[in-house]
Amino acid sequence: MIVTILSVVFVFSVLIIIHEWGHFIVAKRNGVKVERFSIGFGPKLFGITKGDTEYKVSLLPLGGYVKMAGLVDESMDSENIKGEPWEFNSKTVWQRLKIVSAGPVMNFVLALFIFIGVYMVGVPVLTNQIGEVKEGYPAAGANLQQGDKIVAIDGVRTKKWDELVKIIYQSADKELAVTIERDGEPFQVTLTPKSETTNDVFGKEHNIGLIGIMPTSDFQTEKANPFKAVWQGTEHTVKLTAMTYKGIFLLATGQVSAKNLGGPLMIAQLAGKEARRGMLSLFYFIALISINLAVLNFLPIPILDGGHAVFLIVEAIKGSPVSMKAQDLSQKIGLALLLGLIVFATYNDILRFLGKS
């Protein structure tokens, strides 16, 4: 329990600080006075004031905010807007758009740097060795054995488990020439993967090919040089970002069940689990959540950064700000949607913990 609590605090602290620091530093660079930098919401626990900014930690740790001079926030209080040059609303649309976008952008940057670091430190990967052969599948029919290594499929070299699995998955009902290494001696067998239906990470059904083998529990560490790590980290960040957007689209269109949504309780459980596996796993988890946070914040929902960006884009097109009345109504709708989403996701978490989902 202590490990879970500490890991949750660490994960949320890193994500919040990076996100709000993005808003903070870009606001400062564009001449906006930042009045408050808060980690958490609610009553102040402790803090210091340095220059024009109060830095504080508040009671509720699930979030944070940067209070900028002249910014109309969720309270819709415009009394303190004086039109001073250091106020948020005194800046150009482009400057304000950079400021509101900086938070989620920094979450993407955080994920990218973590993935680059992970690839440089070394990623544990499964080898091409067979750990188990299941009866009733093509591998058993071809007399494959535990300890055999699959070194090539149709002439394509396979050094890692995910390489051979990818080929087999995509070859349902297709004859394959498989090169096996047993006790250091290579030989070739021909087999046809059996077509079966499975669910992907979004819960959608797909037909894949299976030959009835399982990997060993042995891993090998695969390290990348800095240049390759940058490429792999960037590729992985883009891939996970695309998957996140796809998941949101499938949820919004009803193609996958909303029961797949997870909330704070699930994040807490997973954070504790990854922390027990080691710091590398925990930082990978932080990167994954950071991407989800960035994507969520870029959605065009009022009260989120994406909603503020939409208001600014509309202002740029029409040549004048969106009315306070329209912003007020939009903020209230956005807040209701966000709170409803959090409540529903937490309800899903509770059902999972009770074994009912």
pLDDT bin (cut points 50, 70, 90) of residue 71 is confident
E strand or H helix that includes residue 123: strand 123-126
Residue of 174, 171, 163 whose CA lies nearest to 129: 163
Helix/strand/coil for 294: helix
User: Known catalytic residue: 20?
Assistant: yes
What domains can you pick out in the chain, each with its CATH number?
2-122+246-353 (no CATH), 124-222 (2.30.42.10)
- At residue 309, the pLDDT reads 93
- At residue 197, the pLDDT reads 87
Are 40 and 57 in contact by the 8 Å Cβ rule? The answer is yes
Mean pLDDT of 261-277: 79
Rounded Cα distance between 56 and 45, Å, is 7
Are 42 and 19 in contact by the 8 Å Cβ rule? The answer is no
Which tens digit of pLDDT belongs to each residue from 106-155? 999 999 999 999 999 988 889 999 999 999 999 999 999 999 999 999 99
pLDDT exceeds 70 at position 315: yes
Residue 314 exposed, middle or buried by CB count within 10 Å (0-12, 13-18, 19+): middle
Instruction: Give the tokens for residue 182.
Output: 């047993």
pLDDT exceeds 60 at position 216: yes
pLDDT bin (cut points 50, 70, 90) of residue 76 is very low
Bigger pLDDT: 230 vs 4:
230
Q: Which of 20, 54, 235, 315 is catalytic?
A: 20
pTM assigned to the model: 0.82
Tokens 């790590």 belong to 229
Start-to-end C-alpha separation, the chain: 23
Are 350 and 265 in contact by the 8 Å Cβ rule? The answer is yes
Is the torsion defined by CA of 262, 9, 12, 34 positive or negative? positive
Instruction: Give the tokens for residue 288.
Output: 């994954």
